[in-house]
Amino acid sequence: MTYKRKNFEPDFSNFEKVLRREKPNRPVLYEFAFNIPLLQRLTENKFTVDENDYMTYFKMLTEASVMMGYDYITVSAWRLNALAFPKGEVDQKKSKSQNEGALIKDIESFEKYPWPDADSYDYSLYEKIGKGLPDGMMMIPNSNGGVLENVTELVGYEQLCYMYMMDAELTKEIFDAVGSRLLRFYENVSKFDKVGAVIANDDWGFKTQTMFPPDMLREYVIPWHKKIADAIHSAGKLSMLHSCGNLKEVMDDIIDDIGYKGKHSYEDEIIPVEEAYKLWGDRIAIIGGLDIDFLTRSTPTEITRRAKALLELTSEKGGYALGSGNSIPEYIPYENFVAMISAVND
């Protein structure tokens, strides 16, 4: 049996109110990504998705999103094969090394690297996807990795640790090469009428701290995110940041310097979303936050109880959208996912 949200009509203005830290007219859901088997189950397996069949995937995502009660669809660049930075081979198992596949180690390899052209992609696909959305629904695009993510993959984590200490000039050139192209990507996708908001995705942290010292992020990463956020806002759209890890030391930078309107990705071992809302909810919208491990291991009753408590906690001030701490992988039981999103039905 598939799930369907009661009395739901998409209305993206409710999500805009969340990002403006206002109280929406009804509870709002947000999810960064869904696994394909979940979408197929919700749409009763009527869509057969091929890796290169972009439009069928987004038709399925749109239909499932309306059934679940989302006011938008996420349009991820990797689904459209848009602006990808070529990487080396990486042994991909249950986890992957942050040192494998690096292609840039010095100025020579930097100059030989096949840097992509952010204007060379068929951005008309965003317009085509937008035309398939029902009234009231909008798109939220994101990129093929972020500034720090792409640089780390191109250089290798350990090598980047050495490089930014030993060769500041080359480090800056690499970050500028990546950041400028991502900025242009976000300028391009923000201009479409059916784009309601934009989420920049760039993981910055481990469980206990940022991946690099905060001052390094402030020198090389945060300035590019400020330009990205400014470009999104200049296009009349609202901005969010998806970034995993412990970012407590740079939350002031995210809120006050960069100016992102919403922050997504939370983990109970780092900071439970309830605490994050109490700490920062007056300054930035708190998006999602139900821990992935909690969603996987808990009972449906426990999940619904916590989801309803979150909606109650945030009901007076607003500025919150209910969802997971990251995304919905296949190992989260279907009934657990439904237990979370059904909390908005009462």
Give the domain CATH number at 312.
3.20.20.210
Paired tokens of 246: 């412990």
Q: Determine, yes or no, domain membership for 222.
A: yes
Are 23 and 316 within 8 A, CB to CB?
A: yes
The number of beta carbons lying within 10 Å of the beta carbon of residue 70 is: 27
In a domain, 300, yes or no: yes
pLDDT score of 49: 83
Give the residue numbers spanning the domain of 46: 13-81+138-144+196-345
In a domain, 311, yes or no: yes
Residue 123 domain flag: no
Instruction: Please report, for residues 184, 186, 296, 297, 331, the alpha-carbon distance to residue 177 in angstroms, rounded to integers and kept in the order given.
Output: 11, 15, 39, 42, 37
Inside any domain, residue 179: no
Question: Angle 124-131/54-68 helices, nearest 10 degrees?
Answer: 40
Q: CB atoms < 10 A from the CB of 303, how many?
A: 26
**Residues of the chain whose pLDDT is less than 70?**
1, 51, 89-101, 346
153 within a domain of the structure (yes/no): no
Those residues whose C-beta lies under 8 Å from the C-beta of residue 70, and which sit 6 or more positions away, are: 10, 29, 30, 31
Q: How many CA atoms lie within 13 A of 250 on its CB side?
A: 29
Letter for the amino acid at 131?
Answer: K
36 Cβ neighbours under 8 A, 6+ residues apart: 49, 57
Whether 159 is in a domain gets the answer: no
What pLDDT score was predicted for residue 52? Answer: 75
What are the angstrom distances between the C-alpha of 340 and each of 64, 135, 214, 323?
16, 25, 34, 7
The confidence score (pLDDT) of residue 60 equals: 96
> Per the structure, how many domains does the chain have?
1
- Enter the pTM of the model: 0.95
pLDDT, residue 346, reads: 64
Classify residue 283: in a domain, yes or no.
Answer: yes
pLDDT of residue 203: 97
